[in-house]
């Protein structure tokens, strides 16, 4: 297994691999309504052009088996809007260096429970200099919920992540650096 970190320009050349990985993983989730493949492709294409975007890949013989992706939140971010209960302003004010958003963590089903997810998580977050990290995870993603609780994340809010019929999701936060 080889692990590597890519910036947005490098990741653009791997977008088709990431989209195929995303499609396979989300086809296997119990509630896959919250993001159609085409919307993921559009979103990923926008995200990888954002300043500070980073992609962590796990490959076996060149085959993409898992990835993590994220970017710093911008001061104008909408990340903390549309919560079921508003958070205090001091928790949602963004400034350069405050928050890294972990937008994706995906491992193909047949490669799970071998530590690949954790390695990707640690690789992408270990490179960060922000004060904290945040992510959104649907309650139906049982393995991810278990993993993030195990890895020191805590739920701070609930939101509706994609579209009006999407299930409510949990917003998690972890302090950086992660000391383990």
Ligand X SMILES: CC(C)(COP(=O)(O)OP(=O)(O)OC[C@H]1O[C@@H](n2cnc3c(N)ncnc32)[C@H](O)[C@@H]1OP(=O)(O)O)[C@@H](O)C(=O)NCCC(=O)NCCS
Residues that bind ligand X (CB under 6 A): 25, 105-107, 112-118, 135, 137, 141-144, 146-147, 150
CB of 149 to ligand X, least distance (A): 7
Q: How far apart are CA 141 and CA 32, in angstroms?
A: 10
Q: From CA 54, how far away is CA 65, in angstroms rounded?
A: 17
Chain mean position to CA 8: 15
Nearer CB in complex with ligand X: 143/175: 143
Q: Between 11 and 141, whose beta carbon lies closer to ligand X?
A: 141
Smallest distance, ligand X to C-beta of residue 115, A: 4
Query: CB-wise, 24 or 95, nearer to ligand X?
Result: 24
Helical spans, DSSP H, in the chain: 8-12, 15-27, 37-47, 89-92, 116-126, 142-150
Token digits for 25? 């993983």
The least distance separating ligand X from the CB of residue 32, rounded to whole angstroms, comes to 10
CA angle 171, 14, 142 (to 5 degrees): 30
Question: Residue 70 contacts by C-beta under 8 Å, 6 or more apart in sequence?
Answer: 53, 54, 100, 101, 102, 103, 104, 124, 133, 135
Q: Nearest approach, Cβ of 169 to ligand X (angstroms)?
A: 9
Q: Which is nearer to ligand X, 9 or 113 (CB)?
A: 113
Give 14 or 112: the residue with its C-beta nearer to ligand X.
112
Minimum CB distance to ligand X, residue 75 (Å): 24
Q: Is 103 strand, coil or helix?
A: strand
């Amino acid at each position: 297994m080889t692990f590597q970190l890519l910036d947005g320009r490098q990741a653009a050349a791997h977008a088709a691999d990431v989209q195929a990985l995303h499609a396979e993983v989300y086809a296997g989730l119990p509630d896959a309504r919250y993001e159609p493949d085409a919307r993921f492709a559009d979103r990923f294409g926008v995200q990888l052009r954002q300043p500070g975007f980073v992609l962590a890949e796990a490959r076996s013989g060149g085959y993409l088996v898992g990835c993590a992706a994220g970017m710093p939140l911008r001061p104008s971010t909408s990340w903390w809007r549309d919560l079921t209960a508003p958070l205090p302003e001091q928790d949602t004010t963004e400034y350069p260096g405050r928050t890294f958003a972990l937008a994706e963590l995906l491992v193909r089903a047949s490669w799970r429970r071998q530590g690949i997810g954790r390695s990707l998580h640690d690789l992408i977050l270990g490179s960060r200099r922000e004060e904290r990290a945040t992510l959104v995870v649907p309650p139906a993603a049982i393995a991810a919920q278990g993993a993030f609780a195990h890895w020191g994340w805590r739920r701070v809010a609930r939101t509706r992540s994609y579209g009006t019929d999407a299930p409510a999701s949990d917003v998690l936060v972890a302090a950086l650096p992660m000391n383990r």
